[in-house]
Amino acid sequence: MTTTSAPILITGAGQRVGLHCAQRLLEDGYSIIFTYRSDRPGVQTLRDLGAIGVFADFSSEAGILSFIAELHTHTDSLRAIVHNASDWLAETPGSEAEAFNRMVNIHMLAPYLINLHCADLLKQSKPADIIHLSDDVTRKGSSKHIAYCASKAGLDSLTLSFAARYAPAIKVNGIAPALLLFNPDDDAAYRAKALAKSALGIEPGSEVIYQSLRYLLDNPYVTGTTLTVNGGRHVK
């Protein structure tokens, strides 16, 4: 159970992993501020549970700065920032630069600017954390999603840099998951192929990210670390 009244900010919490983590933290007694880009059912679910939802478009600098300004109107402190907002675009002929810029803005520029401009809010809380949701794909690269992979690798670098910059007041860590949840339209052949990539061979669901998140929030002696949550893909 939490002992602080400072809220946790979770970006991109309208669905899937972000929604699950926000709900679990609310159950643990934390106040939650979350961002969303699309008005999905999960947005209302979180609002009904008492969370504050703020629309945010992190695909441009203007959208990021607009969100930061609004965030400061909702709170004067933060217990943690969880950078979960993400997008996943493949390069297509003629739109490579657009895809690259969008991935960099969402996965790197948004965390970079939010971390810089919201450090004042975090420093009002003891302890305080920043947690970046990265991706296990950065370990080996991706031939089909180059921009996505590169921007997530850049996020891993931001974890190291901000950990050095903000110590000891703010711990900064990352989580790098591989497959967590299948989509409803994923067929049996795809599911079998994906599961075979890991040593444990399971679809773990969102709870493993919540468990990793709680570990990083609760452990006072971990900073500058990215947790690999990939079912043992690196040993296959």
In angstroms, how far is CA 12 from the centroid of its own chain? 8
Fill in the amino acid letter for 26: L
C-alpha 184/C-alpha 193 separation (Å) is 16
Continuous H helices in the chain = 16-27, 41-48, 61-74, 96-104, 110-117, 119-122, 146-166, 188-195, 207-218
Catalytic residue among 112, 148, 166, 210: 148
CA gyration radius for the chain?
Answer: 17
Where does residue 232 fall: left (phi above 0), alpha (psi -120 to 50 degrees), or beta otherwise?
left
Q: How far is CA 227 from CA 18, 50, 135, 159, 177, in A?
A: 17, 30, 10, 11, 8
Fill in the amino acid letter for 197: K
Q: Provide the 10 A C-beta neighbour count for residue 102.
A: 19
Q: Provide the 10 A C-beta neighbour count for residue 180.
A: 18
Among residues 13, 28, 11, the alpha carbon closest in space to that of 211 is found at: 28
- Active-site residue, 148 included: yes
Active site residues: 148
